[in-house]
């Protein structure tokens, strides 16, 4: 007979009901996000991202890798319209990847960011940066009270 596992300490588990969370405008025009998790120590953050039909991201670079799973709809990269990422597709965008996603019909993606994303101009100069802290601040400004993992205890 298998011995039951002891219960997990409360601080080792986090859960939420994404369907009950509101969408918040994201850095990409025509997109919104739901913050599922953020870790200040590692810089990782997990989002649901919803793209409106016709949404196109600015050219950007991933400082850390990104993993994504398309739940609905899809997108492609502007310079490679024949390679589509539709519902059911998993993707890995490596650290340093530079591209411009386009979503002609809209979509919803589950994404794990392993570091910041930098917006770039046409010469490759950084025009902005979003990271775990940007998402937590934007999320909390929309009326949430999220405290990321990896921070020292509140005084």
7-45 confidence digits (pLDDT tens): 556 667 778 889 999 999 999 999 999 999 999 999 999
Q: Is 150 helix (H, G, I), strand (E, B) or coil?
A: coil
User: Can you list the positions of beta strands (E) in the chain?
Assistant: 24-25, 31-38, 45-51, 55-56, 60-62, 66-77, 80-86, 90-93, 98-99, 101-103, 107-113, 117-120, 126-130
pLDDT the model gives residue 4:
58
Measuring CA to CA, which residue among 60, 46, 52 is closest to residue 111? 46
Q: First CA to last CA across the chain, in angstroms? A: 46
pLDDT the model gives residue 147:
87
| Residue pLDDT, tens place only, 77-112 | 999 999 999 999 999 999 999 999 999 999 999 999
Measuring CA to CA, which residue among 61, 112, 108, 118 is closest to residue 86? 108
7-11, 44-48, 118-122, 129-133: segment of lowest average pLDDT: 7-11
pLDDT the model gives residue 21:
92
Q: Which domains does the chain have, with CATH numbers?
A: 27-141 (2.60.120.10)
Question: Over the chain, what is the mean pLDDT?
Answer: 91
Two tokens at 73? 């709809």
């Amino acid at each position: 007979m298998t011995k039951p596992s002891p219960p997990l300490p409360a601080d080792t588990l986090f859960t939420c009901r994404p369907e009950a969370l509101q969408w918040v405008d994201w850095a990409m025009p025509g997109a919104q996000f739901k913050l599922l998790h953020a870790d200040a120590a590692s810089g990782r953050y997990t989002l649901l991202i919803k793209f409106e039909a016709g949404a196109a991201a600015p050219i950007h670079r991933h400082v850390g890798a990104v993993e994504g799973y398309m739940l609905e709809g899809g997108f492609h990269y502007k310079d490679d319209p024949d390679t589509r990422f539709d519902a059911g597709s998993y993707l890995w965008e490596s650290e340093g990847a530079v591209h411009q996603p386009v979503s002609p019909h809209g979509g919803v993606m589950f994404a794990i960011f392993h570091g910041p994303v930098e917006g770039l101009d046409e010469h490759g100069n950084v025009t902005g940066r979003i990271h775990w802290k940007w998402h937590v601040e934007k999320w909390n400004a929309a009326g949430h009270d999220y405290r990321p993992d990896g921070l020292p205890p509140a005084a």
